[in-house]
């Protein structure tokens, strides 16, 4: 098989192996690693149809991680997709009304981040062994709520690693916060930040690009890496479930072999939908990638105008995992759209940093035609939850509702009747207040934890172990810092 190497979107690092790229997390020039080419796999769907999730994961991931042996990859996949998931299918597809929900929340922390973060620690450990790294790997993570807990779960007690999570104190749901600050592990650290998600992510990126600090860490035997979707090891496992969902429809004779499907993704940092874009580039028959924003609609504006403008008010919404104004993975899309012109990417990113905005030229904008984008207001989101529940007795979370709402707008705009997958990124049990208050006013008087029971009665869906008794678990992490103290906190935690 032809080898695939990885290049930085900003041009100064080229030709590193998959394991090196995963270990580094982000390139030293501030760019993100991208594959040297996208492997194509056309006309094999008949052969893939009867594969289970793990077999399919092996098939897809081996195309990208070409320096991993087949047995190394099997080992990582076996350790990731096991009984931690409460569905044997791992990523079940549910037909509800005229759409198909791809439920990506059956992992240990009941959000889609588990799909990649249950395997990333194993990929990292394998990569470290291959590269003969004997340093302790320190994972720095910024989270808008879900990555944090999923990363804690994935890296807890993994020998040779430490994980530090920064989350915005005012920017996550009560249940998300409780999931993180009650987490026990002998190598896990959780820190609230007085700021929003963008502040946390920028803070982490700044620590990564601080060369002096990097040298100090190295001398002390530490290697920094990332569990955010800036790490290519997060993106590749996410490609798998798009194939899985398509094959599910094909197998069930819901679609003809030549038909294309649409995919609607609730989007924040652009990681999940970028994985769908890569799937399309590999040959998955996708018509439109529907990029759904909440009221932080930078991506909606960008896709419709070609201008990326982060200078606007940061809104705290009921879909907090999408409350992001600086969408990191867009950089990877720009790299494809401008034929890998790294100088241009550097310019855009410089402009974004200095002036808060940039605009792409018309020929690049034309290539955004693979995407349709819309946004959902807070009331659109509430209404979608109520409509789906009232019509079908199926309860969706706030993020999934954003995608559903935007899909309905797409239908009105285009009358495109192609079968559509709505990506369900979290369990409604993670956002009980916002979900239940969409259904009945009485629920507004109850807190997130009381509403867990109510949701169980109303939906008939078992309470996932991730949130069972969560209110009575001891809070272990109480530290809060300012944006400027993040580096200092890392120093203290590592004792350097």
State the Cα–Cα distance between residues 104 and 195, nearest whole angstrom: 29
User: 384 or 425: whose CB is closer to ligand PLP?
Assistant: 425
Which is closer to ligand PLP, CB of 63 or CB of 399?
399
| Identity of the residue, 68 or 429, whose beta carbon is nearer to ligand PLP in the bound complex | 429
Contact 129, 82 (CB under 8 A): no
Cα gap 24→208, rounded to integer Å: 10
Give the side-chain half-sphere CA count within 13 A for 429: 24
Closest distance to ligand PLP from the beta carbon of 94 (Å): 17
In the complex, the smallest distance separating the C-beta of residue 304 from ligand PLP, rounded to whole angstroms, is 18
Q: Closest approach of Cβ 228 to ligand PLP, in Å? A: 9
Contact 211, 13 (CB under 8 A): no
Distances (CA, A) of 58 to 44, 48, 65, 82, 245: 15, 11, 10, 14, 16
Calpha distance 491→487 (Å, rounded): 6
* Minimum distance of ligand PLP from residue 263's CB (angstroms): 13
Shortest Å, Cβ 220 to ligand PLP? 32
Residues that are catalytic: 113
Nearest approach, Cβ of residue 358 and ligand PLP (Å): 20
Structure tokens at 458: 């109303």
Q: What are the φ and ψ backbone dihedral angles of 472, each rounded to 5 degrees?
A: -95, 0
Q: How far is the CB of 143 from ligand PLP (least distance, A)?
A: 9
Question: Which residue lies nearer to ligand PLP by CB, 11 or 464?
Answer: 464
Q: Which residues bind ligand PLP (CB under 6 A)?
A: 111, 113, 146, 229, 266-272, 321-322, 399, 425-426
Least separation in angstroms between residue 269's CB and ligand PLP is 3
Considering beta carbons, is residue 11 or 428 the nearer one to ligand PLP?
428
User: What does residue 8 show for φ and ψ, rounded to 5 degrees?
Assistant: -80, 140
Bridge partners of 139, per DSSP, are 163, 225
The answer to whether residues 185 and 159 touch, using CB atoms and an 8 Å cutoff, is no
User: Minimum CB separation from ligand PLP for residue 442, in Å?
Assistant: 26
Contact 338/257 with Cβ under 8 angstroms? no
Asked if 421 contacts 102 with a C-beta cutoff of 8 angstroms, the reply is yes
Q: Could you tell me the two tokens for 106?
A: 């059956």
Contact present, 464 and 455 (Cβ < 8 Å): no
Residue closer to ligand PLP, measured from CB, 188 or 229? 229
Closest CA to 161 of 171, 149, 169, 153: 153
Locate tokens 């690009």: which residue? 209
């Amino acid at each position: 098989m032809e080898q695939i190497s990885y290049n930085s979107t900003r041009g100064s690092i080229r030709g590193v192996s998959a394991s090196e790229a995963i270990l580094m997390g982000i390139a030293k020039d501030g760019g993100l690693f991208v594959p040297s080419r996208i492997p194509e796999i056309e006309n094999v769907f008949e052969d893939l149809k009867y594969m289970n999730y793990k077999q399919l994961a092996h098939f897809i991931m081996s195309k990208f991680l070409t320096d991993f042996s087949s047995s190394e990859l099997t080992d990582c996949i076996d350790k990731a997709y096991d009984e931690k998931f409460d569905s044997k299918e791992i990523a079940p597809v549910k037909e509800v009304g005229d759409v198909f929900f791809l439920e990506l929340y059956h992992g240990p922390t009941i959000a889609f981040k588990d799909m990649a973060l249950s395997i990333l620690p194993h990929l990292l450990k394998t990569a470290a062994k291959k590269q003969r790294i004997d340093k302790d790997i320190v994972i720095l993570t910024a989270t808008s709520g879900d990555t944090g807990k999923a990363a804690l779960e994935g890296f807890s007690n993994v020998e040779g690693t430490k994980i530090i999570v920064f989350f915005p104190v005012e920017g996550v749901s009560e249940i998300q916060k409780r999931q993180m600050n009650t987490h026990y592990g002998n190598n896990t650290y959780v820190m609230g930040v007085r700021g929003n998600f963008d502040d946390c992510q920028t803070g982490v990126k700044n620590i990564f690009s601080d060369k002096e600090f990097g040298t100090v860490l190295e001398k002390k035997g530490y290697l920094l890496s990332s569990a955010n979707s800036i790490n290519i090891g997060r993106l590749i496992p996410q490609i798998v479930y798009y194939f899985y969902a398509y094959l599910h429809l094909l197998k069930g004779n819901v679609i003809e072999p030549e038909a294309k499907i649409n995919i609607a993704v609730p989007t924040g940092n652009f990681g999940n939908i970028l994985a769908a874009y890569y799937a399309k580039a590999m040959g998955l028959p996708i018509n439109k990638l529907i990029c759904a924003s909440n009221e932080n609609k930078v991506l909606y504006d960008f896709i419709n105008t070609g201008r990326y403008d982060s200078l606007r008010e940061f809104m705290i919404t009921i879909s907090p995992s999408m409350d992001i104004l600086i969408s990191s993975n867009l950089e990877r899309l720009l790299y494809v759209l401008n034929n890998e012109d790294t100088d241009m990417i550097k310019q855009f990113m410089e402009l974004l940093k200095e002036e808060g905005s940039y605009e792409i030229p018309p020929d690049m904008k034309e290539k955004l035609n693979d995407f349709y984008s819309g946004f959902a207001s807070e009331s659109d989101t509430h209404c979608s939850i109520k409509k789906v529940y009232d019509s079908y007795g199926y309860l969706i979370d706030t993020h999934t509702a954003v995608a559903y709402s935007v899909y309905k707008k797409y239908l009105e705009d285009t009358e495109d009747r192609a079968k559509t997958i709505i990506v369900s990124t979290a369990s409604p049990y993670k956002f009980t207040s916002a979900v239940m208050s969409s259904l009945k006013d009485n629920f507004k008087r109850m807190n997130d934890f009381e509403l867990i029971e109510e949701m169980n009665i109303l939906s008939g869906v078992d309470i996932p172990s991730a949130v069972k008794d969560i209110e009575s678990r001891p809070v272990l992490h109480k530290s809060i810092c300012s944006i400027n103290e993040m580096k200092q906190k890392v120093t203290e935690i590592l004792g350097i």
